[in-house]
Amino acid sequence: MATDYYGVLGLARGASDSDIKKAYRRLARDLHPDVNPDPGAKERFQEVSRAYQALTDPDKRRIVDLGGDPFDSGAGAAAGSPFGGAGFGGLGDIMDAFFGGGVGGRGPRSRVRAGDDALIGLELDLEQTVFGTTEDITVDTAVLCGTCSGAGTAPGTHPTTCTTCSGRGEVQSVQRSFLGQVVSSRPCPTCAGTGQVIPDPCPECGSEGRVRARRTIPVKVPAGVEDGMRIRLTGRGEVGPGGGPAGDLYVEIRERPHEVFTRDGEDLHCHVALPMTAAALGTTLPLTLLDGEETDVDVRPGTQAGTVLTLRGQGAPRLRATGRGNLLVHVDVQTPTRLDAEQEKLLRELAVLRGEDRPGPSAEAHGGLFSRVRNPFK
């Protein structure tokens, strides 16, 4: 069923333009997100702004009065002329295509238009993106004018009907052509197609219905977000001209590099330096996790350089699922570069015991495929 836009503004059908504007200003003043932090107020403000758009545009209001919804893609065809429908405009659109203007006029357009979206970057540490956080951001955007509540007029004054177009929002001209006289329409240059002029503009916004202001907005960052992702804050962007509904604010996450851990999706990576002796004999390696907790990593005897040890469930939380990724610990075996006399003696004795005092080329490594085939027959 079509939305009752009169009921959204608390008005009866047939309400005057003045009553509609008064109702919108009153509701917008109470429900705007800048003054009312209640989450439900934001949705209610969007409904009120949508109803104001529907009832202040003559074409849209005509569809509402006929029982349709002007924001429904099929409403225009249902309530319009027989030339309406998918893929076709009205008769005026057809004449526009040939002669550059309509024959019956489109009426004035609303001063109220939707605002633009805004984008701002937010730098976070790896711990904040992995485990989530709430951060305050400061943005400079257009907000609803507090003096005129979006009307654009000075206190105590109202818009007047444009004398150039008599409130139609467009002017017509007659041109002679080989087809005869052709009547074309264009937006009124005096009122920019709105059908109204503001003789006494609001001193704060200069008839725009919005002003620039700096706001501090809390942003809840969910656990598991990644670098480059965007968080959408509905209705927190730019307020539109004439106090129209605000666009959305997008917060783009920028993740700072961490000195120990790197990230690959839901998995974390880190490198640990392991002495040659510890790699040969095995050891228990203490490790501080990203959340500050301590854990022990078991290193088996004979661990080779480049070995990756997996700590399951110690990575980043999955953003749209349960559980966490893994922590991958890369082992870097360190070979000593400086030995004293006693250490060198002991290593040489170990090399003799293992038969490694005179290493040579490995047949398996350098002999190629046929050497490996011949080995079993030796």
pLDDT at 296 over 80: yes
Q: To the nearest 10°, the Cα dihedral for 245, 248, 249, 253? A: 170
Side chain identity at 209, as an amino acid letter? G
pLDDT at 305 over 60: yes
d(CA 252, CA 17): 41
Q: 252: number of CA atoms within 13 Å, CB side?
A: 6
Q: Residue 128's CB: how many other CB atoms inside 10 A?
A: 19
Q: How confident is the model at residue 371 (pLDDT cuts 50, 70, 90)?
A: very low
pLDDT at 358 over 90: no
Does the domain at 262-377 match CATH 2.60.260.20? Answer given as: yes
* 12 vs 133, more confident: 133
Q: Mean pLDDT of all residues in the chain?
A: 82
| Cβ–Cβ < 8 Å for 20, 49 | no
197's CB contacts (< 8 A; 6+ apart) are: 159, 160, 161, 162, 190, 191
Residue 41: what pLDDT? 80
Calculate the alpha carbon distances from 274 to 206, 268, 335, 337 in Å: 70, 19, 9, 14
Residue 250: what pLDDT? 94
Average pLDDT score over residue span 115-127: 93
Per residue in 327-344, pLDDT (tens digit) is 999 999 998 888 889 988
Q: Residue 95's CB: how many other CB atoms inside 10 A?
A: 19
Residue 361: what pLDDT? 63
d(CA 221, CA 232): 11
Q: Which two tokens stand for residue 296?
A: 């022990």
pLDDT at 287 over 80: yes
d(CA 306, CA 86): 63
* Strand ranges, E, within 4-114: none
Q: Which residues are annotated as a binding site for Zn(2+)?
A: 145, 148, 162, 165, 188, 191, 202, 205
Per residue in 60-117, pLDDT (tens digit) is 888 887 777 877 644 443 344 333 333 333 444 434 434 444 434 456 888 888 888 9
Q: How confident is the model at residue 179 (pLDDT cuts 50, 70, 90)?
A: low
Per the DSSP assignment, residues forming a β-bridge with 133 are 221
pLDDT at 304 over 90: yes
Q: Which of 113-117, 126-130, 257-261 has the lowest mean pLDDT?
A: 113-117
d(CA 66, CA 76): 11
Q: Which two tokens stand for residue 168?
A: 């139609």
Q: Which two tokens stand for residue 189?
A: 């240059």
Q: Which two tokens stand for residue 48?
A: 């009120």
Q: Which two tokens stand for residue 45?
A: 């403000």
Q: Which residues are annotated as a binding site?
A: 145, 148, 162, 165, 188, 191, 202, 205
Q: Residue 249's CB: how many other CB atoms inside 10 A?
A: 24
What percent of the chain lies above the pLDDT cut of 90?
42
* Angle formed at CA 184 by CA 183 and CA 185, multiple of 5 degrees: 130
| Whole-structure pTM value | 0.62
Helix (H, G, I), strand (E, B) or coil at 305: coil
Average pLDDT score over residue span 147-152: 90
